[in-house]
Structure 1
């Protein structure tokens, strides 16, 4: 039986991940999503109603391809990933603010963070997906 996404994320070695983030600014994680979840997620790319905006990268000289911002309600897999990763990443952000001698800014849960964003009229969802076309090497 496959564990649900929150359980998979909670069971990661967060002490090690936090150390890697502090040391390197990034951390490599083991696979989080199952093959079926990945395929389902990739299938969303052609469902235009799932997105609020599509950006053509070539138009802005960002390279070849496009990226799309999801609209609310977010797909279940995206919402679950956001809610599950947020608490640990908020700890990281607050710890890093402490290194800069700044007060903690990020609340413990995603819903409280989104309420703060709403107070500042930041109400559009930020998760995005992208598609790039590789250019052949000459």
Structure 2
């Protein structure tokens, strides 16, 4: 069976089944090696276009952020209300149990607590009880000249260590530039960077704040940040899935 045919069939499967069918051994290995991992095809072009079009339905969002105003970069992003579109809700629910073993393993390597329960619903209840009760699911739009400064999506004490971004436009066709960027701070050394072209319909799993790296004494913590390089032409949309809520 051709790769195209396999992707097409996967695109018509329920979202949870598509997430389960991803190559999780490779995703986990890439997360361990780089702090980020492409998943392969997840959404079809029609789903991507429909999700990107939600940006023009302001009633779906609790707030809009003009990035230049806050010196975050340039472009706009919008946080969904808790009344999430079905695709966004289903993807978030499907990814959480797949990312949970990685989160717990990383916490163990670093000698940290692993406070995340088995279900996303229970974890979000804990977030809300701690005052983090605002939706952090995000839809981003970049035009020519826009970019996103290196940052971390940490909104309070409750933090899930992994998150997901889904590309909704085709690089090289809908836009140029706009690579997903990550930097890793290394002990007693200069930082190193990673640049990833995010294909339309593919997801990138990446660390929210830091990751464990091998050291002479076992494991040490490598802080990481993420951002987006300057979009040179066209329009770039992405969907961000965060597994803790905001304060």
Give the TM-score of the pair, scaled to structure 1.
Answer: 0.92
1:133 equivalent to 2:143? Answer yes
**Contiguous gaps of at least 5 residues in structure 1:** none
Q: CA deviation at 1:64?
A: 2.0
Task: Give 2:24's aligned residue.
Answer: 14
Q: Distance in 2 between matches of 1:30 and 1:93?
A: 21
Q: CA deviation at 1:103?
A: 2.5
Task: Give 2:168's aligned residue.
Answer: none
Deviations 1:93-113 (A, max 9, x none): 111110111222111221111
How large is the Cα RMSD of the aligned pairs? 1.5
Task: Give 1:98's aligned residue.
Answer: 108
Q: CA deviation at 1:16?
A: 1.8
Secondary structure of 2:112's partner? coil
Secondary structure of 2:98's partner? helix
Q: CA deviation at 1:30?
A: 0.6
Secondary structure of 1:55's partner? strand
Deviations 1:19-60 (A, max 9, x none): 111111111111211111111101101000000010111111
Secondary structure of 1:30's partner? strand
Q: Among 14, 24, 29, which residue is 1:4 paired with?
A: 14
Name the stretch that deviates more: 99-108 or 81-90: 99-108
Task: Give 2:54's aligned residue.
Answer: 44
Contact 2:67 2:76 in 1 (8 A): yes
Secondary structure of 2:78's partner? strand
Name the stretch that deviates more: 13-22 or 48-57: 13-22
Name the stretch that deviates more: 104-113 or 4-13: 104-113
More helix by share: 1
More strand by share: 2
Contact 1:64 1:134 in 2 (8 A): no
Write out the 4+ residue segments of structure 1 that deviate beyond 4 Å after TM superposition.
none
Task: Give 2:152's aligned residue.
Answer: none
Task: Give 1:31's aligned residue.
Answer: 41
Aligned residues: 137
Q: CA deviation at 1:120?
A: 0.6
Secondary structure of 2:37's partner? coil
Task: Give 1:63's aligned residue.
Answer: 73
